[in-house]
Structure 1
Amino acid sequence: SRTSVIEDSQKAYQEAFDISKAKMQPTHPIRLGLALNFSVFYYEILNAPDRACHLAKQAFDESS
């Protein structure tokens, strides 16, 4: 079902994001790309623009 696919996707994104934060520099292109994609997931799929903007801003601030 759509709900289970969304839940599985969010779990996979979160696991990948946690790994990237633990193992990559904040400026690493893969870490930044993952943060951007995860924020788009929050915005477009979960309809959570506040969470999406927070995640993207946090990634930007950490890389600056």
Structure 2
Amino acid sequence: MKIRNVNKVDIQNLKVVIDSSELFPSELLDEMMEGYFSKKEECIWLTAVKPEPSFVAYCAPEQMTEGT
């Protein structure tokens, strides 16, 4: 098993993983990953490949708040 950054070609397989876990509706994944692929967000999406993507992980910097 190899853990690596998600590529655009992984999206269809990751939708199957997301549907099986019922984490959120998989049709939202394309929009959720737009910032990652365009490098507009500092997030990281990871997957494990064995040989197909078998899990998805999302990491993002902690957002600091002001006045709370």
Give the structure-2-normalised TM-score: 0.27
Question: Greater strand share, 1 or 2?
Answer: 2
- Larger RCO of the pair (alpha carbons < 8 Å, separation 6+): 2
**What's the TM-score once normalised by structure 1's chain length?**
0.28
Instruction: Please identify which structure carries the higher helix content.
Output: 1
